Structure 1
Amino acid sequence: MSKRDPKPEVLRLEELALLVKSGDIKLPRFQRPFVWRKTDMLKLLDSIYKGYPIGSLLLWNSSQRLKSERDIAGLKVSDEPTLYPTSYLLDGQQRLTTLCGALFWEGGALNSMWNIHFDLESEEFIHAKISDSVTTYPLNKLIDTTDFIQQCMKFSHHEKGRIFTGRAERLLRAIKDYKIAVVKIGDMSIEEVAPIFERINSTGRKLTIVDLMMAATWSNGFDLASEIQNIQESCIDLGFNGVSEPLILRSIAASADLGINKDDIQKLRNLSSVELSAASSKCRKAIISAINWMSVELPVRDASYLPYGLFFTYVVEFFRIADKPGVHQLAEIRTWFWFTSATLHFGGASTGDIARDLTNIRDFSTGARSQLFARGTIDISRLLYDKFSLKNASSTVFSLMLLSTQPSTTLSGKVISLEAAGEKNSKLFGRVATRGMGDINIGVVLDPFREQPNLNAEPDVLAEHLLNKECMGAVKNGDGDSFINERSSVISTVVERLTDCQTTYNFESIANGFLDLDKGESDEDL
């Protein structure tokens, strides 16, 4: 069958459900989880009972050995060895899962979503609230002939027994004989199938590089989904959150001595299960080391506070290679973090830039180079004067600078709990600037209570908030220009200390409209 010549067929619903149960139709791991609500399930069954159309299914007939679910709706599918080519379900998961769950449910909790009955009085599908009602028919007793006969016998002596039996028989025929269009596409690669899946998927969910690699790298000895989940759980156990699947996948690729751009990550498919397991193990160990270091040195306890996910990848790679890093190396990594953050270094990085930075971090980790960047003069205008929004990288950097001083109280004197600052949250920050200067970064302070600041706060309290008496005097006098000049000077001094660089800045060059261009790096950038 040509892959460009889809083959339509018409199959009975019972046949399709049995093919899922036997494992002849597989649900690939890159499918979304079952998300239908109970009402959605009941509406589907009602449509089938009434003979309404429920749409077609799409199957992919493929020789590729992809990770597929062995548990669908709590139903253990056959573990018989698969004969290839086999059929993967691309469209229709929610519908077939509903049917398999209802028809093959093995019993259990009364409130299970699969405990679906047909009300013989009203001819409606319901989620049963009692276990042994004479007037309802459990769908998991429908397909097997013996079960069907025994179930009908339960209401044979009921005054409406004949009516109930007739309705049960109608239900059986409706389910068993319902026909549905099934379109099969030929043996295409997973990259060719991806856009088809994306287009027909009712949610419009795009397949990510993680989805593709989870499917493409699966073997009997390796499960990428489980490896990533285990690493995420290790991070959470350390009190570090927000480490996404794409971040981990990129570090696994680096730990396999590959690059970290999309094309490089795709090369994971060429590795054996032994090589993939080894890379994942190295990655997990390096991530734990990187998290322990970041939690103390930056401090960062949530990946959302990293302006760019690329830094996470690079620091993990550093700890993978530099098993016992020296004091100088650790200090350089810390300085490099603040340099790349203050300069928005990774914003708009090309594949070439990413590859060069990866080479540099690897050379630095082995001792082949002593510095990660050349010291010089850096422009921090964006860091100072961008409009404050934690959706952009410059404000994320600024907020992290405010947190890095670990202030004990707000400017109004209230005690600050830094535990609440673990996840990036704009509600943790207030404004101290004068009116008319806009909501720009340097007008922001750490203040989850949003109270009027004490303009006569002690110098040590002001220093914890990266302010001085001159800043507060400008606020008191409503002098926006003086505040901008004074706090810019304070921040630039801190940045120079953190980056080992000289700084320059110019408010006038970006004052019109305040820049808000760099949104940082999202998982979709992978």
Structure 2
Amino acid sequence: MMTGLDTRPSAATYELEKLVGMAWRGQIRVPHFQRDFRWNRADVVRLFDSIVKGYPVGSLLLWVRSAPPKRIRLGALQIEAPRMDQALWVVDGQQRITSLANALHEDAAHEPRFALAYDLRENERMPGRDIGFVSRPSTVDPFVVPLPVLFDLRRVLKWFSTYPEAADYQDKAFNLTTILRQYPMPAYQVEQENAEVLQDIFDRMNNYGKRLSRAEIFSALYAGDEEQPALTIDEISAHIDEQLDFGRIDNDTVLYAILARRGHDVQREIRLEFDDDDRRGVSDFPGEDRDTAFQAGEEAIRRAVQFLQSDAGVPHFTLLPFRYLLVVLARLFAHFPEPDPANRRLLRRWFWRAALIGPEIFRGSTTGAVRTLCAKIHPHDLTGSVQGLLSTVDRPAPPLPELRRFKTNEAAAKITLCAWWALEPRDPSSGERPEIGDLAECLVDRPTPADAVRYVVPSRLVDAKYRLWAANRVLVPTMAREAGKDIGGLLVTPPLFLEDTAWSDVLASHLISPEAISLLRASEFTSFLQARQEELVRNLAGFLQRMCEWGFENTPPLSELVIEDLPEDEQALPDEAAYGSG
């Protein structure tokens, strides 16, 4: 029976300056049973906003015990931590400590979640908006101070010496520096040798009121040795994003992809995943250990994402119509890393048909779809696997996605956005074509592609019947987004530096005809939307026909076809075979 704590927790209060300094020195460690870092940029901003407003942000629970010398990772920071007799291991508060230590350190500025600054003008620029924390600008703005600068009084003094035009805000900056450095963070400290007791506390603190996700359970079960940190699900997602600008894949999808690679039933009992006795005959890779499975799983996901971006025309995770399709692709690319061109085309055909039809055709919807589709993929038989996938969507073409209801969290809108991305929609303010990196930068930490989509006409000027129409949206990931801002004015009055031909290319890339622009200039918004909607429908139909190839035979590659030899007396002469014998 598990016993309780040997001694009562002791209470302590750490000023933020001291707490962050301990984290940077490696005195604060994260035990292996902790979850991965899950906060996004908005979460980090809310934490700092609460601090400068003096709001409580919760107490920490720290486990006091020795720690070996080790190179540790804390968020985006790599820290050479020395041996310590009394290190502080975070049982509760990892997300807060990691956010603080990273956002206030210059070395973490390459990670968008932590690249924050404070706009000293605050609500002068946006009345009614009192959150001064913003993304760190790519070029220096004297009035927007990076948090690592704001946290260091000497650097603040140097900042205003370098940029005297911001001198009117110097006192405000000094006050913010004091608030940040002296903010009191309450903590409970526990001295306990039995790690199981601390794991029990962690489990209770994180399970009252909400359930852990399957990925979090799996990560806890196979956390590995404290002294030998292993590749994590969160790191796999980060690697894919960093290398391919695909955005952060959610942890459950990454887990299911890892499981799908090893066996088609992704709903199997994960507590036995690496138990050779219990998993014999179930895994496609018997005897494989956890680290090998994670590394191979990451590679399978990477190849699947490359296929989505290069072949299928899905540039970013937020534009993926259904997440389960990535899981199925990961299984296929795990067993067949380099499909031949003919099978890649057939695979693209399957992907888009499946995306258009949706998971509802499968018993159990998404769960049933993953199980059924993954079961069609047989190791060592690429053609049979692709043909099996195609057989599940062998049905008449369904109706087009509904363009009168454009909501970026729904599959129909994501499919539509992929069709728009194929047009290389140009920035009306510059005429430039977007790249995947532009889309990724625009959608950092965003669950939907909403931030890459702009209104043409303000909603308040559009009849209620047309407000959800796709015709009033454009995909422009290269423009700095301001909530609710439309770009109709830019479309009506093109930049002076763009020649007529270039401007025509801009409009065509958004399927806006000269006639539609005339309607927009005349403020005939309903007629404009109706005219453009027709163009969008035609474009979407053409895009999906190219991708789905409805009506085509699902012919396997020629190398897979078996042609029986004719009897010698029935074989035609070469010329006869080609031209007839008449």
Amino acid at match of 1:478: S
1:108 corresponds to which residue?
A: none
Please say if 1:440 is aligned against 2:469.
Answer: yes
SS of match in other structure, 2:327: helix
Q: Give the superposition deviation at 1:402.
A: 0.4
2:399 corresponds to which residue?
A: 380
Q: How is 1:59-208 mapped onto 2 (pairs within 5 angstroms)?
A: 90=91, 196-199=204-207, 207-208=212-213
In structure 2, C-alpha distance between the alignment counterparts of 1:254 and 1:386, rounded to whole Å: 36
Amino acid at match of 1:296: S
In structure 1, C-alpha distance between the alignment counterparts of 2:377 and 2:71, rounded to whole Å: 39
Per-residue CA deviations over 1:138-158 (Å, capped at 9, x if unaligned) read xxxxxxxxxxxxxxxxxxxxx
Amino acid at match of 1:405: L
Inter-CA distance 244–69: structure 2 relative to 1 (3 Å threshold): farther
Asked if the contact 2:231/2:294 (under 8 Å) is kept, the reply is: no
Inter-CA distance 371–408: structure 2 relative to 1 (3 Å threshold): farther
Please say if 1:341 is aligned against 2:359.
Answer: no
Asked if the contact 1:314/1:358 (under 8 Å) is kept, the reply is: yes
2:219 corresponds to which residue?
A: 214
Amino acid at match of 1:10: R
SS of match in other structure, 2:292: helix
Of residues 279, 284, 300, the one that matches 2:298 is 284
Inter-CA distance 215–467: structure 2 relative to 1 (3 Å threshold): same
Inter-CA distance 260–469: structure 2 relative to 1 (3 Å threshold): farther
Inter-CA distance 278–413: structure 2 relative to 1 (3 Å threshold): closer
Unaligned segments of structure 1, at least 5 residues: 15-22, 44-53, 60-67, 81-87, 102-126, 131-177, 503-526
Amino acid at match of 2:206: E
Per-residue CA deviations over 1:252-286 (Å, capped at 9, x if unaligned) read 2223336333x454543537995222222322322
Inter-CA distance 278–328: structure 2 relative to 1 (3 Å threshold): same
Asked if the contact 1:10/1:179 (under 8 Å) is kept, the reply is: no
1:172 corresponds to which residue?
A: none
Per-residue CA deviations over 1:169-215 (Å, capped at 9, x if unaligned) read xxxxxxxxx9989999997998x977623256xxx785333332222
In structure 1, C-alpha distance between the alignment counterparts of 2:240 and 2:36, rounded to whole Å: 24
Q: Give the superposition deviation at 1:77.
A: 6.0
What is the TM-score with the length of structure 1 in the denominator? Answer: 0.55
Of residues 491, 494, 507, the one that matches 2:540 is 491
Please say if 1:252 is aligned against 2:301.
Answer: no
1:229 corresponds to which residue?
A: 235
Q: Give the superposition deviation at 1:335.
A: 1.8
2:8 corresponds to which residue?
A: 10
Asked if the contact 2:8/2:190 (under 8 Å) is kept, the reply is: yes
1:478 corresponds to which residue?
A: 527
SS of match in other structure, 2:273: helix
Inter-CA distance 375–443: structure 2 relative to 1 (3 Å threshold): farther
Amino acid at match of 2:352: W
Asked if the contact 1:387/1:441 (under 8 Å) is kept, the reply is: yes
Inter-CA distance 194–55: structure 2 relative to 1 (3 Å threshold): closer
2:421 corresponds to which residue?
A: 403
Q: Give the superposition deviation at 1:309.
A: 2.0
Please say if 1:452 is aligned against 2:501.
Answer: no
Q: Give the superposition deviation at 1:325.
A: 0.7
Q: Give the superposition deviation at 1:32.
A: 7.1
In structure 1, C-alpha distance between the alignment counterparts of 2:237 and 2:351, rounded to whole Å: 23
- CA RMSD of the aligned region, Å? 5.8
In structure 2, C-alpha distance between the alignment counterparts of 1:333 and 1:267, rounded to whole Å: 32
Q: Rg: which structure is higher?
A: 1
Of residues 279, 293, 299, the one that matches 2:313 is 299
Asked if the contact 1:285/1:320 (under 8 Å) is kept, the reply is: yes
1:316 corresponds to which residue?
A: 330
SS of match in other structure, 2:402: helix
In structure 1, C-alpha distance between the alignment counterparts of 2:472 and 2:439, rounded to whole Å: 19
In structure 1, C-alpha distance between the alignment counterparts of 2:365 and 2:222, rounded to whole Å: 28
Asked if the contact 2:246/2:305 (under 8 Å) is kept, the reply is: yes
Paired residues, number: 389
Q: Give the superposition deviation at 1:439.
A: 2.1
Asked if the contact 2:253/2:323 (under 8 Å) is kept, the reply is: yes
Amino acid at match of 2:451: S
1:357 corresponds to which residue?
A: 373
In structure 2, C-alpha distance between the alignment counterparts of 1:466 and 1:494, rounded to whole Å: 13
Inter-CA distance 264–464: structure 2 relative to 1 (3 Å threshold): farther
Please say if 1:29 is aligned against 2:58.
Answer: no
Inter-CA distance 79–303: structure 2 relative to 1 (3 Å threshold): farther
What is the TM-score with the length of structure 2 in the denominator? Answer: 0.51
SS of match in other structure, 1:452: helix
Asked if the contact 2:353/2:393 (under 8 Å) is kept, the reply is: no
Amino acid at match of 1:417: P
Asked if the contact 1:474/1:483 (under 8 Å) is kept, the reply is: no
In structure 2, C-alpha distance between the alignment counterparts of 1:253 and 1:403, rounded to whole Å: 31
Inter-CA distance 463–362: structure 2 relative to 1 (3 Å threshold): farther
Asked if the contact 1:407/1:461 (under 8 Å) is kept, the reply is: yes
Asked if the contact 1:385/1:441 (under 8 Å) is kept, the reply is: yes
Asked if the contact 2:312/2:547 (under 8 Å) is kept, the reply is: no
Inter-CA distance 467–224: structure 2 relative to 1 (3 Å threshold): farther
In structure 2, C-alpha distance between the alignment counterparts of 1:404 and 1:467, rounded to whole Å: 15
SS of match in other structure, 1:378: coil
Q: Give the superposition deviation at 1:331.
A: 0.8
2:342 corresponds to which residue?
A: 328
In structure 2, C-alpha distance between the alignment counterparts of 1:250 and 1:241, rounded to whole Å: 17
In structure 2, C-alpha distance between the alignment counterparts of 1:58 and 1:241, rounded to whole Å: 33
Asked if the contact 1:30/1:212 (under 8 Å) is kept, the reply is: no
Q: Give the superposition deviation at 1:362.
A: 4.5
Per-residue CA deviations over 1:51-96 (Å, capped at 9, x if unaligned) read xxx999799xxxxxxxx9989998656699xxxxxxx985587999
In structure 2, C-alpha distance between the alignment counterparts of 1:223 and 1:385, rounded to whole Å: 48
In structure 2, C-alpha distance between the alignment counterparts of 1:96 and 1:478, rounded to whole Å: 54
Inter-CA distance 296–129: structure 2 relative to 1 (3 Å threshold): closer
Inter-CA distance 364–215: structure 2 relative to 1 (3 Å threshold): same
Amino acid at match of 2:383: G
SS of match in other structure, 2:8: strand
Q: Give the superposition deviation at 1:356.
A: 0.7
1:366 corresponds to which residue?
A: 382
Amino acid at match of 2:204: I
SS of match in other structure, 1:340: helix
In structure 1, C-alpha distance between the alignment counterparts of 2:60 and 2:491, rounded to whole Å: 62
Of residues 319-328 and 250-259 in structure 1, the stretch that sits farther from structure 2 once superposed is 250-259
Paired-residue identity, %:
14
In structure 2, C-alpha distance between the alignment counterparts of 1:459 and 1:490, rounded to whole Å: 17
Inter-CA distance 227–246: structure 2 relative to 1 (3 Å threshold): closer
